[in-house]
Amino acid sequence: MTDIAIIVLAAGMGTRMKSAMPKVLHRVAGRSLLGHVLHAARKLKPSQAVVVVGPEMQSVFREAQSVFPAVRQAIQAERLGTGHAVSMARQVLEGFSGTVIILYGDVPLIRTESLEQLAGLAGKGVAVLGFEAANPHGYGRLIQDAAGDVLRIREELETNPEERSVRLCNSGIIAIDSALLWALLPRLGNTNAKGEYYLTDIVELAASSGITCRLAVCPEAEVAGVNDREQLSGIEATLQQFYRSRHMLNGATLVAPETVFFSADTHVGRDVVIEPNVVFGPGVVLGDGVHILAFSHIEGAQVASGARIGPYARLRPGAEIGEDAHIGNFVEIKKSAIGQGAKVNHLTYIGDARVGALTNIGAGTITCNYDGFDKHLTVIGENVFVGSNTALVAPVTVGDGASIGAGSVITRNVPADALAITRAELELREGWAKRYREMKAVRKAARKSK
């Protein structure tokens, strides 16, 4: 197999997004547009990857690195066209020889299989990825010869009426032998309607050197681009539909699939049941037989098999829920491990904590993990009973088998099997309430009769 390098063009800010953030950093299914492209490309095991960014787009480069640590950047200071953008990557790819795949950072649904096919077709030459457009307006048209190879790509502004009627369009994604690419790029001109160096002209240049450009065709949806937030939501919808169906076909029950939102990396075990209105942020792993009840929000969490979450539960990053544990309504868990079979069923916040197996956390319990400056750890052992409305002021440790009385504020460590209780003494006054009511009633009557 020939070596593969990828170049991802991401220099545009995307003005139609009306955003302070570069377009390719906008997210769908919990992952940036650029992240989706790099994930698809990464599976080709490229030996080199370059992202072409605009000036002052360090954030784009950092995002690329978070997906693909070996990626390098090339900076395109002036936006002079796709051909110019690719030439910015030349120096970075110095010494590389093999197939170069050129991708767009704002075309996130591209599949690895299509890229593989494209690279295979390119061989020592060049291949473009095309699609039949429902509405070809705005796209470059692929002009074919009798054999179906691509003779040239005509940008819409440059087409004659006959070319304009062609519906086979250029996705922009191209695979090309590196030697051929660097030989042809300097020959691109910019005498065209936009005054840009069009990468697409490379096909005609190759043809004039006797190299035919091969064609791979994919569905239009796969190469849909994002220019505005409406298209962003369209891509989100496509992805969600794809993930819902994938998880169902893999053995999860989704009661109302159209109301469940996954991230690209959500891992769902078998016989998982997900009730309506559940959102999964990035980094969630659900074991087999997990039950997620309605209206839960789950992010960066691991849920072991048989656990039950919700309704109305919130699992935040670093939540690790043990086997058969129960996390109930209006409970928030952050950066905490909840032991096997433990129960945290109502109105509770557990943060920066470890809770042992079979421990029961009563309603309204709060780990006071933050002192206004630092976070502190709460460690609760196994088989502990924490009474309702307990405040655990961290750092604090509660030993195995201990009991905490309802309403306690725990500021010192509790030994194993001890009872801890902090409570003002109860005062009881027989008949007081009745006397009070009567006294008030008399006064009210006196006021009225005045």
Q: Which is nearer to ligand UD1, 115 or 319 (CB)?
A: 115
Sole binder of ligand UD1 in the list 36, 89, 99, 106 (CB under 6 A): 106
- Contact stretch for ligand UD1 (CB under 6 A) within 5-13, 292-300, 360-368, 440-448: 5-13
Q: How many residues interact with ligand UD1 (rule CB under 6 A)?
A: 26
Q: Is-contact 22 11, C-beta < 8 A?
A: no
- Contact stretch for ligand UD1 (CB under 6 A) within 80-88, 275-283, 300-308, 347-355: 80-88
Is 169 a residue that touches ligand UD1 (CB under 6 A)? yes
Sole binder of ligand UD1 in the list 81, 108, 339, 381 (CB under 6 A): 81
Please confirm, yes or no, whether 346 is among the known catalytic residues. yes
Provide the token pair at 139.
Answer: 């796209």
**CA 20, CA 31: separation in Å to the nearest integer?**
18
- Contact stretch for ligand UD1 (CB under 6 A) within 62-70, 168-176, 268-276, 319-327: 168-176
Q: Which is nearer to ligand UD1, 172 or 381 (CB)?
A: 172
Cβ 207 to ligand UD1 shortest distance, Å? 16
- Contact stretch for ligand UD1 (CB under 6 A) within 104-112, 277-285, 291-299, 304-312: 104-112
- DSSP-assigned beta bridge partners for residue 176: 100, 126
Q: How many CB atoms lie within 10 A of CB 147?
A: 8
**CA 102, CA 50: separation in Å to the nearest integer?**
10
Residue 364: is it exposed, middle or buried by C-beta count within 10 angstroms (0-12/13-18/19+)?
middle
Can you tell me which residue has the tokens 């599949």?
A: 111
**CA 343, CA 307: separation in Å to the nearest integer?**
10
Cβ 169 to ligand UD1 shortest distance, Å? 5
Cβ 189 to ligand UD1 shortest distance, Å? 12
**CA 270, CA 266: separation in Å to the nearest integer?**
13
Sole binder of ligand UD1 in the list 184, 199, 290, 380 (CB under 6 A): 199
Q: Which of residues 216-275 bind ligand UD1 (CB under 6 A)?
A: 225
Q: Is-contact 314 329, C-beta < 8 A?
A: no
Q: Which is nearer to ligand UD1, 81 or 125 (CB)?
A: 81
Rg of the chain taking only CA atoms, in angstroms: 31
Sole binder of ligand UD1 in the list 87, 99, 178, 200 (CB under 6 A): 200
**CA 395, CA 19: separation in Å to the nearest integer?**
42
**CA 190, CA 208: separation in Å to the nearest integer?**
18
Cβ 42 to ligand UD1 shortest distance, Å? 19
DSSP state letters, 36-60: HHHHHHHTT--SEEEEEE-TT-HHH
State which residue has the least CB distance to ligand UD1: 140
Cβ 201 to ligand UD1 shortest distance, Å? 8
Query: What are the residue ranges of helices labelled H in 132-177?
Result: 161-164
Residue 315: closest CA among 294, 300, 337:
300
* Strand ranges inside 339-395, DSSP E: 343-355, 360-361, 366-368, 378-380, 385-386, 391-393
Cβ 132 to ligand UD1 shortest distance, Å? 13
What x/- string results for residues 50 through 79 when contact with ligand UD1 is judged by CB under 6 A?
A: --x-----------------------x--x
What x/- string results for residues 208 through 227 when contact with ligand UD1 is judged by CB under 6 A?
A: -----------------x--
Q: Which is nearer to ligand UD1, 11 or 414 (CB)?
A: 11
Catalytic residues: 346
Interface with ligand UD1 (CB under 6 A):
9, 11-12, 52, 76, 79-82, 84-85, 104-106, 139-140, 153, 155, 169-172, 198-200, 225
